[in-house]
Amino acid sequence: MKEIVIVGLGGQGPKLAGDCLVHAALLEGKYAQSRPCYGPERRAGVVTVFYRISDTPIRKKCTFMEADCILLMHEYLFEDFMSSGLIAAGSVVKNGPSLLRFDDSMLRGMLYFGGTGVTDVKLRKGGVLIANARLNPEEIKFKADIKPSRVATLDAHAISRGIYGDRPIPIVNTIMMGAFVKATNLLKLNSVIDAIKHRWPEAADLNIKATLMGYEATKVVEIRL
């Protein structure tokens, strides 16, 4: 069994991503579950989805504190993993280009007052980290206690703007599902596409295009531990 955490903002579609990945797993004859967790419902609020996938029945129903894979849907969520750190209030990164691209004033307020809320869940040693970020995987400097064996990044915001147009909070869930498939090899791309067709029958072509572009754009690097 693999335990995955998907973290995004309300409006980016993390809950729907978890639902589609469950459907894709079932299409392959696997077992899966998705449990979203969030506070007051509002756009730009942090949403955490606890996703499990297994070849055998899953008995656990609770959330978890360590994950085999963490998928980050927004750039600023990287703050908890990088050794150089993001200075949230100032929107800068030490020793590198800014990872933060504020989409509206709500995000700026969240960063200043609330932090990211990702640190409660830890990445297991040798886990996989997938992030919507403009940095290449080999450019990322991690904190000492973050030891992934595989890192994948892509600029999902840029892809989203090209497909869905400019939005205060870009839709990236379909794009990041493509990244998840490429980085983890836990699901087949065709299974995710079939799940998308079922979930969004009237907008299937557009969403499938987003998933395929996310898959192709994802850069994956293996890290020796």
What percent of the chain is modeled with pLDDT above 90? Answer: 58
Question: What is the average pLDDT value for the chain, to the nearest integer?
Answer: 83
pLDDT, tens digit, 9 for 90 and up, residues 146-189: 899 999 999 999 999 999 999 888 999 999 999 999 999 999 99
Closest CA to 124 of 54, 50, 180, 70: 70
Pairing type for strands 219-222 and 150-154 reads: antiparallel
Q: Which residue has the tokens 């963490």?
A: 70
User: What is the third-level CATH fold of 2-222?
Assistant: Pyruvate-ferredoxin Oxidoreductase; domain 3 (3.40.920)
3-state secondary structure labels for all residues of 91-110: CEECCECCCCCCCCHHHHHH
Would you say the C-alpha torsion 64, 69, 72, 78 has a positive or negative sign?
A: positive
- Report pLDDT digits (tens) over 99-119: 334 344 444 444 333 344 454
pTM: 0.85
Is pLDDT of 84 > 60?
no
Domain ranges of the chain: 2-222
pLDDT band at 46 (very low <50, low <70, confident <90, very high): confident
